[in-house]
Amino acid sequence: MKNARVEVKNEAKATVSRELFGSFVEHMGRCVYGGIYDPSDPSADEDGFRTDVLELAKEMGVSIVRYPGGNFVSGYNWEDGVGPKEQRPTRLDLAWRSIESNQFGLNEFMAWIKKLSAEPIMAMNLGTRGVSEAAQLVEYANTDHGTALSELRKEHGVKDPHGVKYWCLGNEMDGPWQIGHKNASDYGKLAKETAKAVRLVDPDVKLVACGSSFEEMPTFGDWEQTVLELCHEEVDLISLHAYYEKYGDDTLSFLASSARMDRFINRVAAIADQVAEKKGSDKKINLAFDEWNVWYQEKFEGVNNLEFRSAPRLIEDEYSVEDAVVVGSLLMTLLKNSERVSMACQAQLVNIIGPIRTEPGVPAWRQTTFYPFAITSKVAGFEVLDTAVDAEKQDCKLFKDLPMADFVVTRSPGGDAVVIFCLNRQLEEETHLEIDLAMISEEMKIVATHCLGGGELEKTNSQNYPENVTPTSLEKCEFSSGLLKASLPPVSWSVIELSV
Ligand code: AHR
C-alpha cells in the first residue's frame, strides 16, 4: 500500500470551459457513413441519422464537434457536399484513399448537431485551397445579405445562417502527410490572410491556427513560434494534437500519457506567451486541444496500402479497461489546464478510434473509453480548485519523476458539490488517499463513486458483450471531519462525488 496526501485550497485555479468536452466527426472510415449517418439502418430517423448514436453522444455530454476533418479537409471542396443530393459528385478522398459520395455535407452536419444540442467547429481546407474559398464558405454558412452564396444556402433549404463561431484554419499543416503541407512561414502567412478575410465576412468568428500534429514532430516549437509571430493578432487559439498508445507491455509509460500531455500544453502555452511578449501584445492565445485520444497507430496499416472504397473499416480500435484509465487521466489533464485549454475534442466520436461503436442493423454500443468521458462531462464542476499533492515519484521510459498518483478537484458554481478525480499509476499496489477538505467544509457527504481499473485491464466491450465493462464504485471511501480517505486500486481512474 502506498500513500498520497492532497491539500485542497479554497481557491479556484480556473473555470472549466464546457467546450473541453468536445468530439470530432471526420469523413473517414465509418465515422460519418455507417456511424452518425446511415439511412438504411433501422435506427435511422427522417434525416438518415442513427438515433442510437445520437442518444449515446448525448449521454456522453458532447458539447462541441469538429468537422469535416482531419486530413480529409485538406482535399475537400465544401461545395460538393451541399445542394440536391442526387446532383452531388462522387469524388476520390485522397487523404484516406476512399470514395466520397458527398451524401452528407455541411447542412446535414448542422442539422445533426442541432439534434445533439452541441456547437460546431468547422475546419477549412487550407491544403489545396485558400483565402477565397474559406471566405466563401463562411459567407455561405453565416451570412444573410442577399448575396449569391447566402441565397444559395436558402435554395438548399436552410433559411437562417448557421452562425458557426469556431473555425479551424486548416488541419495539421505541419505534417508532410497533409495534402498541401506547408512550412511554418508559408502557413503562417496563409493563416493570417485567411483570418483577415474571414473576419471581414463575419467579425464574430473565433479562429484556430494549426499547431503541431504532435509534440515529437521535428518542427515542434519552431512551428508554433513562427506561425504565431505571423498571425498572432489575427487568430484566437492554437491547436494541439496528440494520440497516445501503449508500447509493448510498458503500462507505466502508457499511464504517463497524461503527464506528457500536461508538459505539451505547458510548452505550447509558454511559446504563445513568449510571442505575445515579443510583440508587446496583451492578447492571450488560448489552446484548442482539438484532437486527442488513445490510438494504436502501430496497428494501422497506413494509407498507401488501402484500396479506394466507400466507408472502409479503418482504425476501429477496440478499447480495454487500461485504455479507459488513460482516457480518464487525459481528461484530468485537460481539466487541470482549463485556465489555458479552452476547447478540446476527443478524436473521433464513432467507429474511428471512437468511444461509440456501430454495426449495421444492431444497436450501437459504448466502448470502455465512453465512460470516463461521460462521467467527467457530467460531474466536473464549474471551477478547478488549487491543490498540493504529495505522492511518490518514479521514472519510466517516457517520463522522469512521474507522480504515481494524480488528482483534480472541482467545485460546482454554488459550491454545494465537490468532485475529486483520482489516478493511481501504481501497477501492483493500492494507493491510500487522504485528502484534506477542511478548507472547503468539515461537513460533506459522499454522494457516489465511480471506478475503472484495478484488475482485468485487458477487458473490452464488443457487439456480443456490450456491457462486459461498466464502471464500478470504490470499495473503501469514507469522509469524516473534513478528511476524505479512500483506497485507490492499482492502475485505476476514479471519481468521488461529494455534496457540501
Ligand atoms: O483522427 C485521425 C487523423 O489523425 C486526423 O485525420 C488527422 O488530423 C490526425 O493525424
Per-residue pLDDT reduced to its tens digit, 313-331: 999 999 999 999 999 999 9
pLDDT at 414 over 90: no
Claim to verify: residue 270 and residue 365 sit in the same structural domain:
yes
Q: Provide the percentage of residues in the chain whose pLDDT is more than 70.
A: 100
Instruction: Name the domain boundary from 379, 395, 428.
Output: 379
CATH number at residue 288: 3.20.20.80
For residues 62-77, one letter each, b for 16 or more C-beta atoms within 10 angstroms of the residue's C-beta and e for the rest, the string is: bbbbbbbbbbbbbbbe
* Same domain (yes/no): 450, 369: no
The predicted-structure confidence for 85-141, as pLDDT tens digits, reads as follows: 999 999 999 999 999 999 999 999 999 999 999 999 999 999 999 999 999 999 999
Q: Is 139 in the pocket of ligand 1 (CB under 6 A)?
A: no
**CB of 93 closer than 6 angstroms to any ligand 1 atom:** no
Question: For a pocket test of ligand 1, which of 291, 292, 303, 349 has the largest count of ligand atoms closer than 8 A to its C-beta?
Answer: 291
Q: Are 485 and 434 in contact (CB under 8 A)?
A: yes
CA–centroid distance, 111 to ligand 1, in Å, is 24
Catalytic residue among 172, 215, 224, 383: 172
Shared domain check, 439 and 372: no
Count: domains in the chain: 2
Q: Are 7 and 132 within one domain?
A: no
- Which of 329, 362, 379 is the C-terminal boundary of a domain? 379
| Gap between the Cα atoms of 331 and 369, Å rounded | 11
The predicted pLDDT at position 234 comes to: 98
Residues 230, 149 share a domain = yes
| One domain, residues 112 and 246 | yes
Do 488 and 401 fall within a single domain?
Answer: yes
- Give residue 301's pLDDT: 82
Which of 379, 410, 439 marks a domain boundary? 379
Side chain identity at 446, as an amino acid letter? I
Q: Identify whether residues 313 and 189 lie together within a single domain.
A: yes
* Count of all residues that appear for the chain in the document: 500
Residues 393 and 344 in one domain: no
Instruction: Return the ligand 1 atom nearest residue 293 CA.
Output: 1
Cβ of residue 170 lying under 6 Å from some atom of ligand 1: no
Q: Determine phi and psi for 182, rounding to 5 degrees.
A: -135, 160
Residue nearest to atom 9 of ligand 1 (CA): 70
CATH code of the domain in which 436 resides: 2.60.40.1180
DSSP 252-274: HHHHTHHHHHHHHHHHHHHHHHH
Q: Is 29 in the pocket of ligand 1 (CB under 6 A)?
A: no
Ligand 1 proximity of 291 Cβ (cutoff 6 Å): yes
All cell numbers assigned to 236? 484566437
Mutate to test the pocket of ligand 1, among 31, 100, 241, 296 (most ligand atoms within 8 A of CB): 241
- C-alpha distances in Å from residue 189, one per residue of 16, 231, 234, 235, 424: 32, 7, 11, 12, 45
% of the chain residues with pLDDT over 90: 96
From the candidates 108, 291, 322, 497, give the one annotated as an active-site residue. 291
Judge if 295 and 389 occupy the same domain. Answer: no
Instruction: Look at residues 360, 324, 345 and name the one whose alpha carbon lies nearest to residue 459.
Output: 324
Q: Ligand 1 center to residue 71 CA distance, Å? A: 6
Q: Where are the alpha helices (DSSP H) in 232-320?
A: 251-255, 257-279
Residue 94 CA to ligand 1 center (angstroms) comes to 13
pLDDT in tens, 435-464: 999 989 899 999 999 999 999 999 999 999
Q: What is the mean pLDDT of the chain?
A: 97
Closest CA to 170 of 212, 141, 202: 212
For residues 284-297, give the mean pLDDT: 97
Residues 343 and 408 in one domain: no
CB 346 within 8 A of CB 292: yes
Q: For residue 411, what pLDDT is reported?
A: 95
- Would the pLDDT of 299 be above 90? no
CA distance 221 to 229: 12
Cβ(71) – ligand 1 distance below 6 Å: yes
Q: Is 172 assigned a catalytic role?
A: yes
* Residue 257 structural domain: 17-379
Q: CB neighbours of 263 closer than 8 A, spacing ≥ 6?
A: 215
Task: Decide if 155 is catalytic.
Answer: no
Q: What is the distance in A from the centroid of ligand 1 to the CA of 70?
A: 5
Going by CA atoms, what residue is nearest to atom 8 of ligand 1? 70
Which of 23, 24, 26, 30 has most ligand 1 atoms within 8 Å of CB, for mutation?
A: 26
- Residue 10: what pLDDT? 85
Query: Ligand 1: which of 172, 346, 351 to mutate, judged by most atoms within 8 Å of the beta carbon?
Result: 172
Average pLDDT over residues 181-190: 98
Cβ–ligand 1 contact at 26 (below 6 Å)? yes
For residues 476-487, average pLDDT: 96
Residues 389 and 322 in one domain: no
